[in-house]
Structure 1
């Protein structure tokens, strides 16, 4: 069972998400908060697997709260669900360790699938934001010494940037899931990143992959 916490100051949205999640057999809402203070207090009494969080909230915003969660509760996954399409919010959220970034116009089935995705340790990014990410870094990225990755690691890195799961990477490269996990772990270590979303940022920023 995936234990989910909802952090959003709009009661209607929380109620809607709670109803949607309650229809799923593999997840349950174990806590709700309207802002930072409530969230921090709740985390002392419950242990959610995934926090679904807005950005614009009283006290601290979702980006600041993501930083707190990742520092104090590194095993908890954070899925940002917001109306903001601005690059600065998106980039800041990922840099603070958010595991996913969806827009509030996403279909309900995409939201519940995203909860499962980040719970598995994978990342999910709204397609519109992926395009902004690529554009943002193509404009601002500067030349950097090439990171030493093996040819196989480079192939895996391309798949990560394309948003493929470990199973999909294994199928494309004709290797086992276990081997994919080993390659992903080595890539994380070499690039000094902690999540798949950060891998995407780093790879695009430093032009480690060729994108269309």
Structure 2
């Protein structure tokens, strides 16, 4: 299938003045989600993009949706809960770019999807402008703004709760599934130093267990889908 970037260069769509705008070939998007609220919500959000993005397929699974002629598939990772990743692997083997729609409190699903080769992932509370920008950039094969969105949430959590960058980094590594020993090895710290950072962070954010800390990190943008990014932030 012809890439969207190539179509952009060759196809024009009507501009606001009725003339052709050669830089805006419509981006064809498929929304695959077993959750009706996600399907309806995403379609409504992408409606704000006007003629530059067209949702051509909306389905609960890839088999019942026609994804053969789209440029980008927005794939709800709810499809991976309790199921193998065969469907996602088939999509990734096709011609369309795949962007994952994350599931609340399940950063492990985003990690799995990224390891399989999705172009990027967006959090469930992604805003309209960010989602549109992510899809367009993904179709062009560029880096997306999703990481910048998470960075903003990360910075806001640091300011609001008064945690240090080191404490935030340790929380991110906890959310990535690392043990205290693994965190110490990655950050070249003693195990006692890691425990001190964890105690301080728990006190500042008001949690009392590792599970609560993981959920807090996910909800406040500290949990990175890519564990390597969590490691970079923690250093």
Question: Larger radius of gyration, structure 1 or 2?
Answer: 2
CA 100–62 in structure 1, closer or farther in 2 if over 3 Å, else same: farther
User: Does the 8 Å contact 1:50/1:78 carry over to 2?
Assistant: yes
Counterparts of 2:48 and 2:134, CA distance in 1: 15
2:19 aligns with: none
Matched ranges for 1:19-34 at <5 A: 19-24=44-49, 25-34=51-60
User: What is the RMSD computed on CA atoms of the aligned residues?
Assistant: 3.7
Structure 1 alignment gaps of length 5 or more: 144-199
CA 120–63 in structure 1, closer or farther in 2 if over 3 Å, else same: farther
CA 60–97 in structure 1, closer or farther in 2 if over 3 Å, else same: farther
Counterparts of 1:3 and 1:83, CA distance in 2: 23
Count residues in correspondence.
148
Residue deviations 1:83-110 (CA, integer Å, cap 9, x gap): 2343421211101111111111111211
Query: Is 1:13 aligned with 2:50?
Result: no
TM-score (norm 2): 0.50
Query: Is 1:47 aligned with 2:69?
Result: yes
Counterparts of 1:26 and 1:49, CA distance in 2: 12
What secondary structure, in the 3-state scheme, does the structure 2 residue paired with 1:83 have?
Answer: coil
Give, in angstroms, the shift of residue 5 of structure 1: 0.2
1:112 aligns with: 132
User: Does the 8 Å contact 2:73/2:98 carry over to 1?
Assistant: yes
User: Does the 8 Å contact 1:81/1:102 carry over to 2?
Assistant: yes
Structure 2 alignment gaps of length 5 or more: 1-25, 155-168, 187-224
2:193 aligns with: none
1:169 aligns with: none
2:121 aligns with: 101
Counterparts of 1:83 and 1:66, CA distance in 2: 15
User: Does the 8 Å contact 1:55/1:61 carry over to 2?
Assistant: no
2:207 aligns with: none
- Could you tell me which of 61, 65, 68 is aligned with 1:35? 61
Matched ranges for 1:69-148 at <5 A: 69-71=91-93, 73=94, 75-124=95-144, 125-126=146-147, 127=150, 135=173, 136=176
User: Does the 8 Å contact 2:100/2:110 carry over to 1?
Assistant: no
Counterparts of 1:90 and 1:59, CA distance in 2: 11
User: Does the 8 Å contact 1:3/1:28 carry over to 2?
Assistant: yes
